[in-house]
Amino acid sequence: MRQTVWTPASDAAAARLAALLQWYGTLSPSTLPRLAEYYRSDARFKDPFNDVQGLAAIAGIFEHMFATTQTPCFVIRDALSGAGRAYVLWDFDFGWRGRRYRIRGTSRLELDDTGLVVEHRDYWDAAEELWQKLPLIGGPVAWLRRRFSAAAARSSAAARTPG
């Protein structure tokens, strides 16, 4: 993992962020109870499928992840932080119904003065990173993505232009 950290609010906040990223790399049902070490009790978590607030609700998302996927794992690729924010580039690897998947995404973390997460917002493309890879709906999703791509629009316009 390459990690670049600048202007932390404090050494303690920077250390807490580093510990949080390490915790994500080892997240498991047995480490999930440590959530309160990194997230404030009223923290908000939002991703393409969830929008919840509070430690119990955030823990519920991870509990669901462990119950519905096989060997889920976060791999932290890069992190930048400063001025009460952190941006984390990650891969989420997991198994589902006998196949392995990888979702690439980014998290934007808002941190309080002590380095606890106040807001966690995940950004990832559900269509490209997940739906397009699934049986049955993958083909139609891939077709839609191609249909709406700028390259497809240029090709279509070129085909209509008289030569």
9 and 57, same domain (yes or no): yes
Under the banding of pLDDT at 50, 70 and 90, the label for residue 5 is very low
82 and 139, same domain (yes or no): no
| Residue ranges making up the domain that contains 141 | 126-163
41 and 74, same domain (yes or no): yes
Q: In the predicted model, what is the mean pLDDT of residues 30-54?
A: 97
28 and 84, same domain (yes or no): yes
91 and 151, same domain (yes or no): no
- List the CATH number of the domain containing 61: 3.10.450.50
136 and 156, same domain (yes or no): yes
8 and 55, same domain (yes or no): yes
- Name the pTM for this structure: 0.75
Neighbour-count burial for 26-52, b at 16+ CB within 10 Å, e otherwise: ebeeeeeeebeebbbeebbbebeeeeb
pLDDT of residue 6: 41
99 and 135, same domain (yes or no): no
Q: What is the pLDDT of residues 50-94, one digit of tens each?
A: 999 999 999 999 999 999 999 999 999 999 988 889 999 999 999
Q: What is the pLDDT of residues 92-151, one digit of tens each?
A: 999 988 989 899 999 999 999 888 999 999 998 765 655 565 666 666 656 666 676 776
**Average pLDDT taken over every residue of the chain:** 84
68 and 147, same domain (yes or no): no
Report the domain count for the chain: 2
7 and 36, same domain (yes or no): yes
Q: Is the pLDDT of residue 4 over 60?
A: no
